[in-house]
Structure 1
């Protein structure tokens, strides 16, 4: 028979422990008992009802086995008539190579106790200090003990339970017992991580899609915002241009008014100068006219005088003529006077003729001067009228100019509020029409919010971040999938490696009870459906799947025991408990299984507590045999080595 040699402890492991003693106080049929245990095999024997199973039950209660707590009320385990019970398990905590099995405790013995009260309150103590159940679990995990695994402490009927559970649960139980559950846990964790990554990726992709839709909305709003912004800038430019166009137009008006005023002032100056000249000419012509009038007056006087002289001469001549007619003797005497008179008359005629000629000439000259004087006076009147008109125009122009300059200043202030001066050739009404069109275009963008640009940029950045997150999420999902596959592969390999070893031993032990069989893993690619399948056939029969319907009770017990024996060297827990494994076995198989158990213990480092009701026939070299009997309603133990 092939045996596995004991191995040395590695630096990363704690030394193995074993139970030194179980102490029962007011527990079930025990009033008080101290049950010593040794490393290796401990057989607990005694008749039915003696209290053998109570020892294993007490161990389970002390370790906090959930199965025990679910199956009964712990207060029912208190000895009848008592109010409180206590079960204590004393572990060996002696150092090995300087390390203790329970590093946190400095004592060579570590006592784990459970108190049960009739009122239903329970608590744990570790080295006589109250601890929580979670702290108990942590301490037991340091010892590689999982009290909830049925392969660690198997109560009565649990062999049949192990045979009846489905293949999936059976595989999980084996994994926990041999320390491979962490591989399953890692797979489940990796799968959960993958599920989380998938959910995260889906969530991010959903967010990405939603963010894209939102970005599309804000992109459109941003385009409208930019159009609105451009229109507003255009409006500002137009308003600035309009303001300065009005200024330029007013400046042009002022400039024209200034030019017109200057022109009118020049005209006024010319009129004034012309008027002065005209006045001078008028005065001069008046002087000339006065002189000519004076000359005419003198000429009229001269003409009157000469005419009077002529009349006098003619009158004298008439007198002389009369005298000549009447006095011939006076002719000679008057001839000189007569000649003188004729001469005077002729001279008077000449003077009159000359005077009249001068008078005509002077009249003509006077009339001309009078015409010129009249022209000068008319011109002077016209010039005065024109001057008055021009002066009124200048006054009106200056008034308009002052008003225009004031308006120009106001327009300049208004325009400077719109911005610096710009040159434009467009008319204000043309610009105003553009402003109206721009306002009409802006009215269609009233609903555009001022934060459209910020929202667009924020959502664009958010989309970019989400894309990076989506890419990272995809990488994480792929990495999680690779991690899951890697862990699945490790889990399968570890289990296949285990089952190859267990299969060989299982077949060998089955052969000793005239049976054949196999151990194999089913659905290895699906951790949820993966299971452990046992097949067995006795006395030459073809191996069949182990279940509650194909094999007899004894065959099932024998087959499962063969499997458990094959599995023992791989179980991590330093302690095992087994209650009446041979319940349905015939004596021969019972004897064979017991021998196999003893043989297995030769080099085993584990501690076994095996309860058997039968007689110990042909059993030798058992390190510790504990006999249990019930006397007067109280169980008692006796060690028989």
Structure 2
């Protein structure tokens, strides 16, 4: 009996130990289950964070593809890239503080680009207009030179034609480069000699040549008003010359027969030729004024026009 009692006591002690160990293991199990739950929650949170980061990565990749469709191979470390990004952000912040934020810079750029396109279009139009003006000016210069040659030829022909009224030959030489005009006259009986110095001509011949030159200019110009003042100053009428001679010889009471006699005596003088020049000049001027009735002619002279 004692042996059974001892064994029973021993078994009870072992039972107590086993129960204590089971209780300890239960506590350990609960702790481990709690840790397992915590770890599972951590894993789930990490999975959620991973999913979120994957979405962010996809968004970043999509944005990066918009900038550069081809994926770039990067040899730098993440830390180096982060440092570069930080530096760029600081630089962007500095530029924004100096020139404004991104939206303001974009607006200013859009406005400047629009102004540039507008000015470029205006510049192209102006260049086309200038090119057209250059072609027009070249054409006008060609037409002007052609018209100038034509007017020069016409003026020469008219001048020579008017000079032939007195059996003279006249020629004109236009130098458009040096802007000079040379006139030569061949008086009657001197067809082989050109007179380039008008001072060698008589007063009437010079006046007649001048009248012919003016008439030639009038024929090629379109001015509505034509005016001559004392153009016949060297073309005094016959009676005036005779009266001057009579007063010189102190013969105021001379008869008509004596006047005719004096006229015969002085008929060889050159001023009678000048008087003839005046008559021809006046006839030419009057004929021209009657022919060009659409223009106004003004002749200022102390002598009669007929």
Fold-level match, TM-score > 0.5?
yes
Q: CA deviation at 1:535?
A: 0.9
Q: Which whole-Å CA distance do the structure 1 matches of 2:29 and 2:5 have between them? A: 34
Instruction: Compute the TM-score of the two structures, normalised by the length of structure 2.
Output: 0.56
Instruction: Compute the TM-score of the two structures, normalised by the length of structure 1.
Output: 0.30
- Please identify the structure whose Cα radius of gyration is greater: 1
Deviations 1:200-247, CA, capped at 9 Å, x for gaps: xxxxxxxxxxxxxxxxxxxxxxxxxxxxxxxxxxxxxxxxxxxxxxxx
Indicate the structure with greater helix content.
2
Aligned to 1:609: 298
Aligned to 2:287: 599
Residues 1:444 and 1:373: Cα distance change in structure 2 (over 3 Å): same
Aligned to 1:439: 86
Q: CA RMSD in A?
A: 4.6
Whether the aligned pair in 2 keeps the contact of 1:533 and 1:545 (CA below 8 Å) is no
Deviations 1:448-498, CA, capped at 9 Å, x for gaps: 762556666666666666665555444433322221122222223333333
Whether the aligned pair in 1 keeps the contact of 2:229 and 2:301 (CA below 8 Å) is yes
2:188 counterpart of 1:535: no
Whether the aligned pair in 2 keeps the contact of 1:534 and 1:545 (CA below 8 Å) is no
Whether the aligned pair in 2 keeps the contact of 1:517 and 1:536 (CA below 8 Å) is yes
| Correspondence list, 1:185-264, <5 A | none
Deviations 1:246-268, CA, capped at 9 Å, x for gaps: xxxxxxxxxxxxxxxxxxxxxxx
Task: State the secondary structure of the residue aligned to 1:608.
Answer: strand
Q: Which whole-Å CA distance do the structure 2 matches of 1:533 and 1:590 have between them? A: 25
Residues 1:383 and 1:434: Cα distance change in structure 2 (over 3 Å): farther
Q: Which whole-Å CA distance do the structure 2 matches of 1:603 and 1:501 have between them? A: 18
Q: Which whole-Å CA distance do the structure 1 matches of 2:149 and 2:126 have between them? A: 34
Q: Which whole-Å CA distance do the structure 2 matches of 1:519 and 1:455 have between them? A: 70
Deviations 1:76-113, CA, capped at 9 Å, x for gaps: xxxxxxxxxxxxxxxxxxxxxxxxxxxxxxxxxxxxxx
2:20 counterpart of 1:381: yes
Indicate the structure with greater strand content.
1
Q: Which whole-Å CA distance do the structure 2 matches of 1:387 and 1:470 have between them? A: 92
Residues 1:607 and 1:467: Cα distance change in structure 2 (over 3 Å): closer
Residues 1:370 and 1:600: Cα distance change in structure 2 (over 3 Å): same
Aligned to 1:371: 10
Deviations 1:140-184, CA, capped at 9 Å, x for gaps: xxxxxxxxxxxxxxxxxxxxxxxxxxxxxxxxxxxxxxxxxxxxx
> Which residues of structure 1 form unaligned runs of 5+?
1-294, 297-362, 424-429, 621-641
Aligned to 1:590: 278
Aligned length: 237
Q: CA deviation at 1:384?
A: 2.4
| Correspondence list, 1:610-629, <5 A | 610-614=299-303, 616=304, 620=306
Task: State the secondary structure of the residue aligned to 2:233.
Answer: coil
Aligned to 2:218: 568
Aligned to 1:343: none
Q: Which whole-Å CA distance do the structure 1 matches of 2:206 and 2:111 have between them? A: 70
Whether the aligned pair in 2 keeps the contact of 1:519 and 1:532 (CA below 8 Å) is no
Q: Which whole-Å CA distance do the structure 2 matches of 1:535 and 1:479 have between them? A: 40
| Correspondence list, 1:73-88, <5 A | none
Q: Which whole-Å CA distance do the structure 2 matches of 1:466 and 1:419 have between them? A: 48
Deviations 1:513-558, CA, capped at 9 Å, x for gaps: 465433354336xxxx7x4624133544535387xx8988766543
Whether the aligned pair in 1 keeps the contact of 2:229 and 2:300 (CA below 8 Å) is yes
Deviations 1:419-443, CA, capped at 9 Å, x for gaps: 95769xxxxxx97875444223433
Q: Which whole-Å CA distance do the structure 1 matches of 2:19 and 2:296 have between them? A: 154
> Which residues of structure 2 form unaligned runs of 5+?
59-76, 236-273
Whether the aligned pair in 1 keeps the contact of 2:155 and 2:219 (CA below 8 Å) is no
Q: Which whole-Å CA distance do the structure 2 matches of 1:443 and 1:455 have between them? A: 22
Task: State the secondary structure of the residue aligned to 1:544.
Answer: coil
Whether the aligned pair in 2 keeps the contact of 1:569 and 1:604 (CA below 8 Å) is no
| Correspondence list, 1:322-341, <5 A | none
2:221 counterpart of 1:559: no
